[in-house]
Amino acid sequence: MSLDVLLIEDSKTQAAQIKATLESMGFDVRVAYDGLDGVRAVMEKQPSFIVLDVKLPGMDGFQVCRRLKRSPDTQAIPIIMLTERDEAQATMSGLAAGADDYIPKDIFATEHLMNTLQELGLLK
């Protein structure tokens, strides 16, 4: 049985690349292109985990993460922030918002994501 992933990423190009990477790992991937749609998608069908960008239209990734982690219905869903914002303050904000990990989009991002998914028990 494959796990359902929600990818919340506003860049269609990056969303396609990340979706392809996750699908190659055996996950079923749904994509939302802004924060509000992402929250709605979680409420409609809870994913096994969420990959979340920070820079999103409407509601940014920090707001999405805080909202989902505050709700008893969704607080247990692992959230991995995957973003171009790599400064220390953004990382601290992401973790403070409740993210299970914060991964900068760099050449090591895919490897880091795979390691995080293994640590969370989501990747065999």
Task: Assess if residue 65 is contained within a domain.
Answer: yes
The percent of the chain in helix, strand and coil, each rounded to the nearest 5, is 45, 20, 40
Is pLDDT larger for residue 7 or for residue 1?
A: 7
Task: Assess if residue 88 is contained within a domain.
Answer: yes
Q: Domain range holding 69?
A: 4-119
Report the distance separating Cα 34 and Cα 47, nearest Å.
16
Q: Is the pTM of this model over 0.85?
A: yes
CATH number for the domain harbouring residue 53: 3.40.50.2300
**Smallest Cα–Cα separation from 15: which of 67, 57, 51, 68?**
51
Task: Assess if residue 52 is contained within a domain.
Answer: yes
Determine the pLDDT at residue 85. 86
Determine the pLDDT at residue 1. 58
Determine the pLDDT at residue 124. 73
Determine the pLDDT at residue 86. 86
On average, the pLDDT of the chain sits at 95
Instruction: Convert the pLDDT of each residue in 75-124 to its tens digit.
Output: 999 999 999 988 999 999 999 999 999 999 999 999 999 999 999 999 87
Report the distance separating Cα 100 and Cα 78, nearest Å.
6
Task: Assess if residue 124 is contained within a domain.
Answer: no
SS3 label, residue 29: strand
Report the distance separating Cα 40 and Cα 4, nearest Å.
15
Average pLDDT of the residues in 40-49: 96
- What is the number of structural domains in the chain? 1
